[in-house]
């Protein structure tokens, strides 16, 4: 099983995680894995297909005016500032 090391965890965040782990009667490592599992698992009731359909619908509702620069160009321009 892979090992994950996390550096520079703010002390207050570590303390909160430690308290949550204690409340759940888990080690800090087990609590961290559980939190990652929950945060990365698909949202209940929303499939990937539904998410993509919703994204396409929203994208279609928000069409940029003609002549608008592409997003990549705006990002490059912002980075160069």
How do residues 5-29 score in pLDDT, each as one tens digit?
Answer: 999 999 999 999 999 999 999 999 9
**Measured between alpha carbons, how far is 34 from 21 in angstroms, rounded to an integer?**
10
Q: Could you give the CA distance from residue 19 to residue 13 in angstroms, rounded to a whole number?
A: 10
Helices (H), 3-81: 11-23, 28-40, 48-61, 71-80
Name 31's Cβ contacts closer than 8 Å, sequence gap at least 6: 17, 20, 21, 24
| SS3 call for 57 | helix
Q: pLDDT tens digits for 62-71?
A: 887 888 888 8
* pTM value > 0.85: no
């Amino acid at each position: 099983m892979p090992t994950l090391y996390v550096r520079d965890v703010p002390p207050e965040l570590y303390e909160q995680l430690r308290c949550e782990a204690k409340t759940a009667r888990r080690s800090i490592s087990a609590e961290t894995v559980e939190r990652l599992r929950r945060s990365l698992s698909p949202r209940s009731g929303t499939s990937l297909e539904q998410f993509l359909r919703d994204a396409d619908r929203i994208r279609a509702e928000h069409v940029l005016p003609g002549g608008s620069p592409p997003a990549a160009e705006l990002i490059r321009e912002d980075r160069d500032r």
